[in-house]
Structure 1
Amino acid sequence: RSAVRGVFRRSRLGAALGDFARAVLRAGAGSGGGGACLDPPACMDTLYFVEERDRIVWVYNRCGDASWELSRVAPCQRAKNRFVLCYGPQGRPGAWAVQDQTSGPHGDFIGGPAAGVAEYADGPPAAPDPRRPPLGPWRLWGIPYMLTNSPPSPPLVLDSAVRFIQAPFVSWRYSEQGNVARLELTSEPRPIGDEHLEEVLDKFRSLLRHVAQRPAMVLVIRSDVRKAMLPSVRQIRRFLGFMQDHGPELVLTGRGNAIVVQPSGFLGAALVQLIRMVQRMLPAPWPETIVPTVEEADAFLAPLAAEAALAALAATAEPAP
């Protein structure tokens, strides 16, 4: 997935969208709350692109009279990546489209309504309405999505087998407080078996998708690897491949990662070198740090979680009269 690899190599969100192969969503899947609206502009302040196979949700917030910007990203990425849903962008007069405007109004065209099938919530108009984009099927980079102005139905409750894991080489605990999900991993001083690694990655995949399917949710991670044993080269490659494959979920939900490791001694120094190598190969599009204690890790993550909680509160607050 070369496009998704670019998310970590360049921290560019455009790469995260470019490599999925999906079938068209059922017409009713994304329009559940979109019925007739007496004041269309007021009903369209937040829009949701729902990708079909994994149903992960990309959130766009209004940034102008007839434009919406991708907002479900870490704050540190918003100035570096601007994906804008707008009417009549450069090269697309009289049409709705999503455009990469990171470098200005002449950016790459990403996609638009799926030809012949996009519908407005209250029926297809004779011509595009310049006040609001058509709800229904869209194609971004040739990939089918459903655009809706109401949050999609939440997934089923996450199974306890994914919330709490005790594998031979690692344990983790998953929790939620409001819209902030937290994953705490603790390595064990045992060899990393290939079979056990696959089991852990499979559960991590389920956890990431569960969070990404809920548009208000974000994720912070604390990884205590002070007792970890060094993985094999094959296992490192497997981990890198997993992170590349699930770059979109991580871009949408990731808001911070703190890694706890003691840099002293041969093993500690080797772990730090390994972590820094991975960071160089796949730069994370969110704040990340390496610290020697759990307390320092918690102190790093606390303001990031608080910022995410405040952002969710602001998004749900009613506008002042």
Structure 2
Amino acid sequence: MEASINTIIATDVKTKEQKREEGRRRALEMAIAKQSNESNTSTPNNKRRGNRKSDRHGARNQDRHKHFAKWILDKFPHIVRECSSSSSTEEVETNMHVLDIAGGKGELSARLALCHSLRVVMIDPRPADVASVYLNSVVPKLPKKWQHSLEERLKHTPSFIEDELDKRFSQLVTCFSVASDDDIYSDRDGVDCRVLFEDEAVEKAVRNASLIIGLHADGATEAIVDAALRYNKPFVIVPCCVFPNLFRHRFIYVEDDAGNGNEKKKVAVRSHEQFCQYLLDKDDRFRQEVLPFEGRNVAIWWDGK
């Protein structure tokens, strides 16, 4: 009786695994077919429909992850040397990695880890299914020869994507925030002893980061800058939402329109432009650059020097 139960359990597990493998194969085939259909539609009507689609909210910057990943590799070439994964089974957390803050569904992390073979740690309060995001959002945009190569790999090793992610990707399911000014104290030598993170895993991820990135990181954007300054880490952020009612401590100084000489007035940060200026004002070494995609595309970065 016991042997029979074990046989049933083993069969059930095998069936589920076969279904997962079949699902992965179908997802890849659908992705390839989708790209093929899009590339073959060249009639005027299809062009017009494409133009209307590009006018929809969010459609114009749908390739932002691809362009941002390329820009990162061009601007910070040291991460290729420090974060490239090897064939050995190394723990992601014990090596230098790219730290992706508020990575959302994980498309940027998927590109860096699976397309560029970099070790990546992502922090986001929601668990991400990076394997599915890679298949459904990244693969359809890859060159066809890469798609066919991946299809062949999956035929021989159905768990190929999951295996690659296990080598070089991990996620900390938590929020990313730094301590307030109330947590600052000094030791006997007068050294600032601010405790930035209550979560030791988050602090370790920051310390081992070769680069900290935040693409539209919302409420975590300023925390990325503060952490990078504290630990002397290169970073790049692309600010998006401002949340002026949530972050009431943010102010910048602008020229006084009243014409009072060189005097400047204190203004609360409420617009995207003001937010970028607020972040730039944190350190003279910071730089600003417009990225090659539409929407919120202003990058603020520092090489850590």
Q: State TM-score, norm by structure 2.
A: 0.30
- Bigger proportion of residues as helix: 2
Q: State TM-score, norm by structure 1.
A: 0.29
